Structure 1
C-alpha cells in the first residue's frame, strides 16, 4: 500500500491540520503516518492556544516513520517557527524525500497566525527548494514572493518566482479571488488551469490541508505531479460541495464524501 506522511500541527476540532490530512489519505486509499509539529486548541471559530513540540521530538517522529515504514510522499503543513522549519527541512533532505508537497500554512481559516513572520524566509530558502510542489493560496503566494497577486498575470508571475526559489512545481490556488475557483499549476515549462464552480457555503475549514494532502496521496500512488493536482482539485471540490455545518464558524469539508449516503 502507498504510504504518505504529514508533518504538521494538530487541529483539536479535527477539520484541518494532521486530522484532515489523515482523513484525506484514508479516503484516497493511502496509508497515512504523521509527525506532529505543534498542538493547537482550534475549532471552527478560532485558534486559542498553540504549543510547539520540542525540535528533537519532531526529528524523532520523522525518523521513526521513515526508518521503519518508509514513505512514498510527504506533505508539510503548519510549521510555526523557523527552528521547526529548519529541523523538518534537514530531516526530509537527509532521508532523500523526493515527493514533497509543501503547503506553506501561514494563517488559519479563522484568521489566526500559524507561522511566525521570522519563519517565512526559512520556508523560502530551506523548504521550498526541496519541494516537488508548493501549494500556496493567494495570500501565501504574496507573502512568499513579496508581490501583490490580483490578476491572472500576477498569478503566473508569482508561480514563476516560486519556481525560481527551487521548487519543481507550484499550484497557486485561486480560492481567494473573485469568479470561478481557478488554481494555476506551473512546472517551469507549462501552465495548466484547474477550474471549478464556487459553492454558497462557509464550511470550508481545512480546504488547504485537504488539497495538499490529496496531492501527496496522488504522488504516493505514482501519479505525475499534474495528475496528482487534478485528483486533488476534484477531491477537494466535492469535499466542499458536500461540506456540512459543524460548530459556530467555518465548518469542515467532508473528507469521506464518496461514502456518504445522500438518500
Structure 2
C-alpha cells in the first residue's frame, strides 16, 4: 500500500486554477506528497473590471466541518495555510490549529485581495498577527506583506528583507522567509530566511521581470512538502526555490494580463 506523507492545505479556491488550493495541490502531487484541502474562500477574477478579485468567504462553521473530516481521516505531517481573508475565518483556523496541535505549520500571509474593501486590510492584518502568526512554524510573506507585518516603510535591499524577517519573527513564528522574488534589486530573485538563529539567502537568476501568478503559493507549498518528507528547513526552502524557479520558467499564458506558474513537467 502506498503511504506518502500528507500535507493539510487550508486555502482559498482561485477559479482559473493558477493560484490558491489548485496550485497547492498540483505542487504537492509533483513533489510526492498527498494533499488534503479545506477551502476558506472562493475567489474569481472579474474580466469586466480589470481582473479584480471577487471574494466570497466560506462560512466559519463550514471551515470547521471540513477540518473535522480531514483530521479524522489523516494525520498530516505538515500544514500549508494560504488566503484566509476574513476575521471569522482567521478565528476558525486559530481554533483548528490550537485544538489539533498540527506540526510544521507554514503560513503564507495573504492579507487582502485586489478588489476587496481597503478597510478590511487593517482588521485582517490585526487578527492575523494576534491569532495565527504565533501558531506558525514558518511564515512566507512577500515584499509588500513583509512591509506591513514588520512596520518597515520601505524594503529596498536584501539586508532590508533580513531586518523585516527578524522583526516579524518577534510576533511568534519560528522562522520567517521574506520572498524578495522579482522585486529584488538586480538580476537575481533573492529570498531571505531568518530561522531564529541566522539569516540565510536563497538566490536564483530572475526568470523575467514580472510577477507570475501562483509563484508564492508554489514556494510555500513546496516548503510544506519538504518538511512533510522529513527535510530540515534549509533544505526544504532550497528545494522549493528550485521547484518554483523551474515552474516560472515554464509559465503558462492565458487571457489574463499575467502568466501563471506551471508545476507540471516541461512539454
Normalised-by-shorter TM-score class: over 0.9
Partner of residue 6 from structure 2, selected from 3, 8, 17:
3
Q: Deviations over 1:36-68 (max 9, x none)?
A: 001111379624421111101101111211121
Matched, 1:174 2:177: no
The alignment's TM-score, normalised by the length of structure 1, stands at 0.92
- Structure 1 Cα separation of the partners of residues 220 and 88 of structure 2: 22
Offset at residue 244 of structure 1 (A): 2.2
- Structure 2 Cα separation of the partners of residues 199 and 217 of structure 1: 23
- Structure 2 Cα separation of the partners of residues 26 and 253 of structure 1: 15
Offset at residue 250 of structure 1 (A): 0.9
Aligned with 2:259: secondary structure? coil
Map of 1:197 onto structure 2: 205
Matched, 1:37 2:40: yes
Aligned with 1:10: secondary structure? strand
Does structure 2 conserve the Cα–Cα contact (< 8 Å) formed by 1:7 and 1:75?
yes
Q: Give the aligned length.
A: 257
Matched, 1:134 2:142: no
- Structure 2 Cα separation of the partners of residues 150 and 71 of structure 1: 37
Matched, 1:58 2:48: no
Map of 1:216 onto structure 2: 224
Partner of residue 93 from structure 1, selected from 87, 98, 123:
98
**Structure 2: tracts of 5 or more residues without a match:** none
**Structure 1: tracts of 5 or more residues without a match:** none
Q: CA RMSD in A?
A: 1.8
- Structure 2 Cα separation of the partners of residues 198 and 51 of structure 1: 34
Does structure 1 conserve the Cα–Cα contact (< 8 Å) formed by 2:28 and 2:225?
yes
Does structure 2 conserve the Cα–Cα contact (< 8 Å) formed by 1:14 and 1:20?
yes
